[in-house]
Structure 1
């Protein structure tokens, strides 16, 4: 990786964002950590990254679902570092309770669309002009299994609608910005939950997961390594790609399979 590359990872104080930050920092990339309310966790991660990898870390508090806060965050980063090379759109709300479309409140629908789709528009609109000036950029979004096929997903209607819209947005950016040396790709995690989001692959090698064809649980490192691949200097020919990292598990149909058992 070229020296002095910088990356902004949204929603990076906890979960998948932690492993993504470690993976990119290990390559010498300076990291901007975005958080909404997890200030203590973000500061603890900042210390870990600076001590372990000797990079610079910037803490940026913002609710990226709000246009003015997202834009302010990018302005602050540019004022501090002058350029932004990598944008990883990891933040995105998710309603864990199983709810059919008719049972969603207007606020819940709004939160899902703003947090998972509109936030990407706000951040990309603010970031792309800076990447154009550098003639180099990497944008990575996060989806879900089969997102590129616009599938139905029971009990996840708002989240699925936002993420399938994000697929089209990602691919459109890839086409529009290719001439400026900017790539845009999406990574679609499988059923990686809880503490597994911050684990290494080595942590689960000896564990069995009979519901996943490869036989082990997925980890945050599985996702982080994929994102790092898209962000590398040599990945300039890869853009508009939607890549699933699921271990072969059919996440969307697990509820159906449970009913049939």
Structure 2
């Protein structure tokens, strides 16, 4: 079902997806899902070649206008430059931002260095702040805005999945950031919501093992990991007109592993 009112206006708005280039990630699944449901897509990723490759795949498979751009979400100049590049491209106006770029960290608290803590905060939390700040003016100008950020079940119960305290802190910060944005920009009709996935079948858990992945799946009441496309569907729906009265929320998608 189209997520915009696009029966006659397909590809009338652009969805920006950060961290959208990894072949087995939530970001690439979300970028594809946006395109399938009538959005143009801008993929921002640290890996420029992969971002362009994903964009070309999306265009070929769906007919949607799509571009891939290099962007380091921890660097204000890089984020600002990417936002300007999207604005000055041939894509339609920006209507949604899916802030998905992130890194995991399974380091135990007493082994956590300040450099590692800062790295995790920078990519997950600061990157979300910078991309929201860069694209909000375009949404205000365009008269339509949906921000969907990426938290984690780890933030909700303080770890216990794969990543530990630094990741929990960063993802908890995203919840507060999202609620603040929702409150500040509601009078523009712009919504901001956060998604808190549980265990998803992606490659973010660098260093995990088959036994560990099996244990993670077994820990979920539904008995399996989510597919990236299941999570992607929620990003796209929260970007729709149908979701226009939902803002400042945390949407859990975790197979029952955390029940609030």
TM-score, shorter chain, exceeding 0.5: yes
Instruction: Report the Cα offset of residue 213 of structure 1.
Output: 1.8
Structure 1 residues 92-171: aligned runs within 5 Å? 92-95=102-105, 98-145=106-153, 147=155, 149=156, 151-153=157-159, 156-171=164-179
Which residue is 1:91 aligned to? 101
- Pairing 1:211–2:219 present: yes
Q: Where does the alignment leave 5 or more consecutive residues of structure 1 unmatched?
A: 198-208, 252-261
Q: Where does the alignment leave 5 or more consecutive residues of structure 2 unmatched?
A: 206-216
Which residue is 1:257 aligned to? none
Q: Distance in 2 between the 1:45 and 1:127 partners?
A: 21
Describe the shift of the 1:196–1:225 C-alpha distance in structure 2 as closer, same or farther (beyond 3 A). farther
TM-score (norm 1): 0.83
Does the CA-based 8 Å contact 2:52-2:69 persist in structure 1? no
Q: Distance in 2 between the 1:195 and 1:119 partners?
A: 20
Instruction: Report the Cα offset of residue 101 of structure 1.
Output: 2.2
TM-score (norm 2): 0.84
Which residue is 1:74 aligned to? 83
Residue 35 of structure 1: which of 31, 45, 59 is its match?
45
Describe the shift of the 1:77–1:113 C-alpha distance in structure 2 as closer, same or farther (beyond 3 A). same
Residue 179 of structure 1: which of 184, 187, 211 is its match?
187
C-alpha root-mean-square deviation of aligned residues, in Å?
Answer: 2.2
Higher alpha-carbon deviation: 179-188 or 212-221: 212-221
CA deviation digits over 1:13-54, x for unaligned, max 9?
111111101111011200001111261x33332222111211
Q: Distance in 2 between the 1:114 and 1:19 partners?
A: 24
Q: Distance in 1 between the 2:112 and 2:218 partners?
A: 33
Q: Distance in 2 between the 1:70 and 1:125 partners?
A: 9
